[in-house]
Amino acid sequence: MIALIIVDMIKGNLPFFNEDQLAIIPNIKKVAEKVRESGNLVVYANDSYTENDWLFRFMKKHALRGTEEVEVIDELKPEKGDIVLEKKRFSAFFRTDLDLILREYGVEKVAIAGVNTHVCVLATALDAISNNFEAIILKDCCASNRRELHNFIVENYKLIGLEVMSSDEFLKEISQSL
The string of pLDDT tens digits covering residues 81-95 is 999 999 999 999 999
Distance CA(156)–CA(80), nearest Å, equals 36
CB–CB of 148/123 below 8 Å? Answer: no
In this predicted model, what pLDDT tens digit does every residue of 41-63 receive, in sequence order?
999 999 999 999 999 999 889 99
What are the tens digits of pLDDT across the range 126-151? 999 999 999 999 999 999 999 999 99
Q: Is 39 helix (H, G, I), strand (E, B) or coil?
A: coil
**Of 126, 76, 131, which is closest to residue 102 (Cα–Cα)?**
131
Burial class of residue 141 in the structure, from the number of CB atoms within 10 Å of its CB (0-12 exposed, 13-18 middle, 19+ buried): buried
